[in-house]
Every structure is written in structure tokens, then in C-alpha cells.
Amino acid sequence: MTHNEKKLANIVEELTMFFFAIGAKDVRSSIHVEHERADIEMEADYREEYRERVDALLKYFNEPKNEGLEDFYWELAGSGDPGESSQLLLVGMMIDNADIKIENDRVKIKLRKLLQK
């Protein structure tokens, strides 16, 4: 497994744990890698009492990417409690673009990550 593949797996794992922490019973994910980029799509349900945490994803994933921190800290993703804001901030620093749609009791996330050579 390459360095890039490990990072992608950590991102998906962290988001999966986040969704389980907010009551998800239906979590779907896909990763598509082409050339020097990866697209990650995730969709999940959630319990309404966790709406504030779902809304916070917009903030976490629109932070500027920090490549220096990414290279140093990416292995920490998944090391804290599931769905911790610090873990989601790490994910936010690892991605290049995020599109989040929140509709009724479902969240759809599309993430793009440019891969290092």
C-alpha cells in the first residue's frame, strides 16, 4: 500500500467513525483514483439530535489545506475518539476540496484530494 493510499484509507475511516458516532445506520463510501487525484464520496444518515455536529463539517472541511501538517500528522487520523473535532480538522487539512450537502436526515460528502507523487 502506498503513502497516498494509506492517507485515503485514514480519511474514509475517520469519516465512517464520525458517522457511527452520530447514529448512522447506513454509511456508504467510494474512492475513485485517477491520475494525480482522488475523489472520495460518502453518504450516511444521522440522528437529528446530532445536526449541529453535521453542520460543523462545513467549517472543518473548508479550512485551508496545510501540506506541511498533512505530511507530519496524517498518521494521527483515527487515533482519537471517534468523530472528535480535532480528527475532523485533520481530515480538513488533508483534502483540497469539499462539497457537503445536508438534506433531511442524510449527509452527502464529496471530497477531492490531489495526490503527491
Interhelix angle 3-21/85-94, nearest 10 degrees: 140
Maximum mean pLDDT: which of 61-65, 80-84, 89-93: 89-93
Burial of 46 (0-12, 13-18, 19+ CB in 10 A): buried
Which pTM value belongs to this model?
Answer: 0.84
Domain interval for residue 60 = 3-114
Count up the domains in the chain and report the number.
Answer: 1
- Residues 33-56 pLDDT 10s: 998 999 999 999 999 999 999 999
Report residue 4's pLDDT band, with 50, 70 and 90 as the boundaries: confident
Domain with residue 15: its CATH number is: 3.30.565
